[in-house]
Amino acid sequence: MKIISWNVNGIRAVQTKGFRDTLTQLDADCILLQETKAQDDQVDKALENLDHYHIYSNSAERKGYSGVALLTRQQPLRVIHDMGIDEHDREGRVIVAEFDKFFLLNVYVPNSGDQLVRLDYRQTWDLELLAYMQSLQAQKPLIACGDFNVAHQAIDIARPKANYNKSAGYTQTEIDGFSRFVEAGLIDSFRHFHPETVAYSWWSYRANAREKNIGWRIDYVLTSRSLLGQVKDSFILPDILGSDHCPVGLGIEI
């Protein structure tokens, strides 16, 4: 099974950038999209006539903001929207598909914002997400994919010293939040298979950052430890354009 996760930074905008051809090229069994910036009916329209995929989405109450979508060739046993916590469930950030042998979670973690205005909220969110993922893992193994909005280690960010505790996505609070996911038995699959590889999944649109490869690795595929022996590879696809993020993914026998 091939799983792809991609923050598209607007599903309607990416339509004009060869998105459908890219999906064909990726040829994935499951495609998890973040930051769709669209309501459910707009997501359906953007993805209509995609053969062989069941399509599910979770949109924010606020139009043109946040949102996640899931495309899967195999029909899930069920699909769960949100974490069941009203404070967090208005922004369309979580959708989960349950399959026979595992849960597949798609998440768009909140950005802590300019001047870190949402950092306190982000800390609460990370703890609630951890509890939610643990509740899923207690039932069956979990694959959790998405934009986690944090560079976990110095190797995951081009300029760690300049950004540490100053920029959203590289504060100790956010790093600690992600570390708790790992401590709970979720493996950062890319770093597991590529412990010393410098690779990024997001680049600012400013100052030709992508061309200069001044980036951040903030998109992840996490897997329950029990699945690790079935994972064949975890990868990042920086040459695929259309968004300020690139796709990340996983190959697994399951």
Nearest partner of 91 among 143, 37, 133, judged by Cα:
37
* CA distance linking residue 100 with residue 106, whole number of Å: 17
Task: State yes or no: is 220 an active-site residue.
Answer: no
231: phi then psi, degrees, rounded to nearest 5 = -80, 130
Q: Which of 56, 126, 132, 147 is catalytic?
A: 147
Which pair of structure tokens corresponds to residue 91? 């922004």
Are 66 and 102 contacting, i.e. CB atoms less than 8 angstroms apart? no
Task: State yes or no: is 219 an active-site residue.
Answer: no
* CA distance linking residue 79 with residue 82, whole number of Å: 10
Catalytic residues: 108, 147
